[in-house]
Amino acid sequence: MRGALGLSLVLFAALGCTELLPAPKRVVRGGGAVRHIGAIRASKELALLVQAFRADFPAQQRASSPDLEVSLDPKLAEEQYRLALGPNPTLVAGGSTGVAWGLQSLGQILTTGARIERVEDSPDFAFRAVMIDVARRYHSPSTLRRIVRWCQLGKVRYLQLHLTDDQNWMMPSEVLKGVDSRNTHKRPAYTKQELTELQAYARARGISIIPEIDLPGHSTLLCQHDPDVFRIQGSPSTNCINFASPIVRTKLTQLIHEVADVFPDAPYIHLGGDEAWYPTPEKDPHFAAQADKSAQQIFVDFVAELSRVVLKRGRTPIVWEGFGRSDYANATIPRETVVIAWENHYYPADELLADGYRIVNAGWNPGYVVNHYPWDAYTLVPLPKMYQWDPRVFGLVTHDHTRNLGDSPNLLGGLMCWWEGHEWNAQRVLPHRIATFGARLWNRNGERDYAAFQKRLDSALTRIDRESFPYRLSIEGAVRDTEFEEGITLSAASDRRTVVAFRTDGQIPGLKDTLAEIKLQESAVVTIQAYREGHPIGETQFLPVHRVKVVKNLALGKPVTTTAAIDPDFPPARLTDGVADVVGSYWLGYPNPVSATIDLGKSIEFNRIDVVAFYAAGQAARYRISVSLDGKEWTTLADASAQTQGAPAEGYLHKFEKQSARYVRLECVSSTQHPATMSRIHEVRIFMDPQQGHFLSTHL
């Protein structure tokens, strides 16, 4: 009987754990609820991890509670840990990363009061990473620390910083001194101190920083910095450096050594290698001198040479899938090089595996979260689909076709990429995605209940926010969240020792910006920072507020159902909220064809429907509109499935003879905006206009 009971407790983990995330591999329940821990006894090498735990879970520590004994066991894998609670709590792990994960699980147990006696855990995939594009849009160290906390929550082991691109250069460099003077966001590169402090903060929470310098493409600033050296002479390319030049390769070798010095603990260095455009290279003397090789072979030589530099520094090189399949590449690029499979255009993921490469799955479905330039047009897979993702499956958003890569040992794990986004948008859309992505890679069979997962994730993220922002923010005048029609007032309540500062220009506020409240009449990005005894405490909150016009119509506030997975940041409720003038606020339907149905509550009369599709890009949305009295028999009122006119800001207007219906259905077919499989619709508005004469179905 005793053995059978133990077995059932262990098997509980296969059904998902209702308190911990990611769901552990093995959980034994029992005993009473544990709320506090006393002293933590650990070796000096683990002191920073203990210090981080104390900072992250201050309310869960009490001197009168049992002490925790922490130790390392070389028989365990680096990330493997065993946590036992009871009269004499212990944490045993294979390495410091495992200790960090064990402490994170302990913190969750203490905050939830879970009746858990033992946790034994380890990840399915060793490579679990999130990439942040800090080279298109600036991300402050404060926001990066918040991202570290979300990675910690999802047990994401690596945080990759995309440090260089056409727009901005964020890697501090003496070798290329001054290259950041042309940064389009008018900020210099991060300082070495900022990056050193970020690494220490992340390392104390089990996360390693991976630096990325994107070469030879995406290098406009290098080409502008010294065109005589870096430009491919005679080529129209303005953003691909001269990878055939020995001088360029020497410079970049020195740069790699700089990167390795600034990031001394980084196990990987990412070299870029994607989307290099180099037409007519034969006009350049350095290419002409290697006439026995094609430009593609010289490109492979370049990738291989820089990879060998990384290897000599004792690190592992990573590159994007950016070179094609060839015998030359297979014989030249060091096999230690890890390839990020992301597009299946240059070298499909299954072919990389077949040829013996070690790869990381970063397929657009669901690995890409793109906040497209220059609008807030997002390409992302709805969160429920990420929750269901199998990391062994490679997928793209351009079509619904996937490839199962199987259980190859060369499939190291996955990478989720945040491209092009503002840091305030990162604070909005990344927390849930990072933790969910991490959960899928940690224990792909441990989750079954999406709603339960989101509930405990919401609770954990709320706790992190409370610790990050030591004040209570009040908002007056909003019609929804931070949207307002006439004006909005923000105020922050805190303890007597704490003051709160506000700004509206995107900059981090200083003590001189301390205010009791801030009143706004126009849209802005409000930044909020708390100070105690003259020093900043917590993190910087970025809060976009938007002045809007709520358009009254018959669909306003009515419930909407959809055939698509519902993303919490882009729900179907956006279709009937009356607001269409916030560019980044809309319903995202994926994959097309997909429909959304508005329930008007009862049969009503109307003679006009406006569909406000994503209009900032000026591209066409394609759809049909149908109505029904009972939700069973449908009548098509408008067929715009072949529409070519770009979406106008006022929407596509459809007028027709008076109809009576309870249900209005929008069937999205496709979009001329990338990708065609994704629909972005701001509003569906329903009106009864004064009718004179006969109206045909039209759109203006």
Q: pLDDT band for position 1 (50/70/90)?
A: very low
- pLDDT, tens only, 617-653: 999 999 999 999 999 999 999 999 999 999 999 999 9
Q: What is the DSSP letter of 239?
A: S
Q: pLDDT band for position 691 (50/70/90)?
A: low
Q: pLDDT band for position 399 (50/70/90)?
A: confident
Give the containing element (helix H, strand E) for 303. helix 295-312
Within 8 A by CB and 6+ apart from 447, the residues are: 16, 22, 23, 387, 439, 440, 453
Within 8 A by CB and 6+ apart from 293, the residues are: 301
**pLDDT surpassing 90 at residue 152:** yes
Q: In the chain, helix, strand, coil percent, each to 5? A: 30, 30, 40
Compute CA distances 569 → 431, 494, 586, 630, whole Å. 11, 29, 9, 30
- Burial (Cβ within 10 Å: 0-12, 13-18, ≥19) of residue 601: exposed
Question: Residue 140 and residue 162: Cα distance in Å, rounded?
Answer: 14
- pLDDT, tens only, 79-121: 999 999 989 999 999 999 999 999 999 999 999 999 999 999 9
Query: Could you tell me if 586 and 515 are in contact, meaning their C-beta atoms sit under 8 angstroms apart?
Result: no
DSSP letters spanning 341-354: E-SSSSS-HHHHHH
Position 3 scores a pLDDT of: 38
Question: Residue 283 and residue 230: Cα distance in Å, rounded?
Answer: 15
Give the containing element (helix H, strand E) for 108. helix 96-112
DSSP letters spanning 132-159: EETTTS---HHHHHHHHHHHHHTT--EE
To 5 degrees, how large is the angle CA 247–CA 249–CA 252?
Answer: 110
Query: Could you tell me if 480 and 577 are in contact, meaning their C-beta atoms sit under 8 angstroms apart?
Result: yes
Fold for the domain defined by 127-467: TIM Barrel (3.20.20)
Query: Could you tell me if 645 and 613 are in contact, meaning their C-beta atoms sit under 8 angstroms apart?
Result: no
CATH of domain 31-121: 3.30.379.10
Q: pLDDT band for position 17 (50/70/90)?
A: low
Tokens of 475: 């908002």
- pLDDT, tens only, 182-241: 999 999 999 999 999 999 999 999 999 999 999 999 999 999 999 999 999 999 999 999
Q: Which residues pair with 684 in a beta bridge?
A: 611
Question: Residue 317 and residue 299: Cα distance in Å, rounded?
Answer: 16
Taking the CA atoms of residue 367, residue 371, residue 377 and residue 380 in that order, the dihedral angle to the nearest 10 degrees is 10
Tokens of 123: 């990840």
- Burial (Cβ within 10 Å: 0-12, 13-18, ≥19) of residue 44: exposed
Going from N- to C-terminal start, the domains of the chain cover: 31-121, 127-467, 471-547, 560-687
The closest alpha carbon to 122, from 159, 148, 93, belongs to: 93
Question: Residue 171 and residue 258: Cα distance in Å, rounded?
Answer: 9
Query: Could you tell me if 170 and 180 are in contact, meaning their C-beta atoms sit under 8 angstroms apart?
Result: yes
Position 86 scores a pLDDT of: 86
Report the top-level CATH class of 560-687: mainly beta
Position 33 scores a pLDDT of: 78
Position 32 scores a pLDDT of: 77
- pLDDT, tens only, 542-591: 999 999 999 999 999 999 999 999 999 999 999 999 999 999 999 999 99
**Architecture category of domain 471-547 in CATH:** Sandwich (2.60)
**pLDDT surpassing 70 at residue 249:** yes
**pLDDT surpassing 50 at residue 126:** yes
Compute CA distances 532 → 56, 381, 497, 529, 541, whole Å. 18, 41, 6, 10, 16
Question: Residue 637 and residue 23: Cα distance in Å, rounded?
Answer: 48
